[in-house]
């Protein structure tokens, strides 16, 4: 059924002329030379980092120079850690940084073979980005989104190239985590999928292929666990410290679920839970009221300095 729906996608525009849907006009596998990244935040600069380290030219965009400066500084810091550990040489670090160019004008992406949107987990914001981005892309460019939960088919329909659009969900932190989820929309063709899969492998990642269902694989499993941990706190079953200690030592998780939620960002956690609740219409995905309250208060976790832990001191302190 899935294979049939993909084979049904037309390869040509009306009149038989090659166009955006023409498989022959896709970059050949391995032909990705220049990669664009929309967003210089934690995910965006991580994607730029691994792409440049893999020898690709990178163009990274954000809304202002200050955010770009912060993103580049983060890349330098993370490359520095890799150099200190002997994973890369000082020369590799220098060459990687040279491959990254930044800007605030979408014309920056004019020569990109593949562009990855890595903005916040908000569908309306992503759609607004595509309106600005798509007119600047060359016809054969592939467009990916780093969404962790939103429908790929629906996002693709907001562009001029649904056959050349797919989800590429990186894990955080990108330079460290090995996995990338690859998600096809209903119109994504096989040439796009194969090219993006090979690109992921070139970055040193391992791919898990997911169908286009709310939150895909990782967050379909992970976020309800985090949400349940918040319910456990909300109902007074245990404190922040008790819950995180229990899961670290009892389930051998490297981070407790509330610590992990702070790392991900409580706004992102809430956004994914809304996607699951709305998309699957099951009460088991209802976001915990305490999670909603923290986000309303601006307590978003590490990035805001306060979430389930307070990060203002040298050592994080539970806020409840």
Query: What are the two backbone dihedrals, phi and then psi, of residue 75, each rounded to the nearest 5 degrees?
Result: -60, -45
- Average pLDDT value for residue range 295-310: 97
191 has pLDDT over 90: yes
User: Is 91 annotated in the active site?
Assistant: no
Report if residue 267 sits inside a domain: yes
Residue 237, classed as helix, strand or coil, is: coil
Report if residue 158 sits inside a domain: yes
24 has pLDDT over 60: no
- Average pLDDT value for residue range 157-184: 97
Residue 11 has a pLDDT of: 36
Name the token pair of 309: 């832990």
Number of folded domains that form the chain: 2
Which percentage of the chain shows pLDDT scores above 90?
90
Report if residue 280 sits inside a domain: yes
Give the domain-ending residue among 143, 176, 210.
210
User: Is 181 annotated in the active site?
Assistant: yes
- Residues 90 and 24 placed together within one structural domain of the fold: yes
Q: Catalytic residue among 51, 57, 181, 227, which?
A: 181
Residue 28 has a pLDDT of: 52
Report if residue 241 sits inside a domain: yes
Report if residue 315 sits inside a domain: no
User: Is 146 annotated in the active site?
Assistant: no
Q: Catalytic residue among 45, 51, 146, 148, which?
A: 148
Number of helical H runs and strand E runs in the chain: 12, 10
Give the domain-ending residue among 188, 210, 232.
210
Kind and range of the H or E run holding 181: strand 179-184
Report if residue 313 sits inside a domain: no
Could you list the residue range(s) of the whole structural domain that residue 114 is in? 2-210
* CA max distance for the chain: 66
What does the mean pLDDT of the chain come to? 91
59 has pLDDT over 90: yes
User: Is 219 annotated in the active site?
Assistant: yes
- The pLDDT confidence band at residue 31, using thresholds 50, 70 and 90, is confident
Residue 10 has a pLDDT of: 35
Report if residue 92 sits inside a domain: yes
- Bridge partners (DSSP) of residue 301 are 306
Omega before 306 within 30 of 0, i.e. cis: no
pLDDT tens for 249-299 read: 999 999 999 999 999 999 999 999 999 999 999 999 999 999 999 999 999
22 has pLDDT over 50: no
Contact 68, 76 (CB under 8 A): no
141 has pLDDT over 70: yes
- Average pLDDT value for residue range 69-85: 97
301 has pLDDT over 50: yes
- Residues 151 and 98 placed together within one structural domain of the fold: yes
Instruction: Work out the angle between the directed axes of helices 240-250 and 218-234 (0-180°, nearest 10).
Output: 140
Give the domain-ending residue among 179, 210, 241.
210
35 has pLDDT over 80: yes
The CATH number given to whatever domain includes residue 257 is 1.10.1040.10
Q: Catalytic residue among 45, 151, 169, 227, which?
A: 169
Judged by phi (left if over 0) then psi (alpha if -120 to 50, else beta), residue 236 lies in left
Q: Is the dihedral of CA 259, 262, 264, 270 positive or negative?
A: positive
Residue 179, classed as helix, strand or coil, is: strand
- Residues 12 and 75 placed together within one structural domain of the fold: yes
Name the token pair of 190: 């096989």
- Residues 195 and 253 placed together within one structural domain of the fold: no
Q: Catalytic residue among 45, 57, 78, 219, which?
A: 219
pLDDT tens for 157-169 read: 999 999 999 999 9
């Amino acid at each position: 059924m899935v294979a049939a729906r993909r084979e049904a996608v037309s390869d040509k525009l009306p009149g038989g002329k090659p166009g955006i849907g023409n498989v022959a006009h896709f970059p050949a596998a391995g032909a990705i030379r220049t990669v664009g990244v929309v967003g210089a935040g934690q995910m965006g600069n991580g994607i730029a980092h691994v792409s440049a380290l893999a020898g690709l030219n990178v163009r990274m965009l954000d809304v202002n120079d200050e955010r770009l400066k912060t993103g580049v500084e983060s890349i330098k810091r993370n490359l520095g850690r890799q150099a200190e550990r002997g994973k890369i040489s000082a020369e590799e670090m220098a060459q990687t940084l040279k491959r990254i160019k930044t800007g605030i004008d979408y014309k920056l992406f004019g020569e990109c073979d593949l562009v990855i949107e890595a903005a916040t987990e908000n569908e309306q914001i992503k759609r607004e980005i595509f309106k600005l981005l798509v007119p600047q892309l060359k016809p054969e460019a592939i467009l990916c989104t780093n969404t962790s939960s939103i429908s790929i088919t629906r996002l693709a329909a907001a562009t001029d190239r649904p056959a050349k659009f797919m989800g590429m969900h990186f894990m955080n932190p990108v330079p460290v985590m090995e996995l990338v989820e690859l998600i096809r929309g209903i119109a994504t063709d096989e040439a796009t999928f194969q090219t993006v899969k090979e690109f992921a492998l070139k970055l040193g990642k391992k791919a898990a292929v997911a169908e286009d269902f709310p939150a895909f694989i990782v967050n379909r499993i992970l976020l309800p666990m985090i949400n349940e941990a918040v319910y456990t706190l909300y109902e007074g079953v245990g404190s922040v410290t008790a819950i995180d200690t229990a899961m670290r030592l009892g389930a051998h998780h490297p981070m407790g679920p509330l610590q992990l939620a702070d790392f991900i960002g409580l706004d992102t956690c809430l956004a994914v839970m809304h996607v699951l609740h709305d998309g699957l219409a099951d009460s088991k995905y209802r976001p915990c009221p305490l999670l909603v309250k923290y986000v309303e208060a601006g307590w978003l976790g590490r990035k805001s300095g306060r979430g389930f832990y307070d990060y203002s001191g040298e050592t994080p302190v539970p806020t409840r």
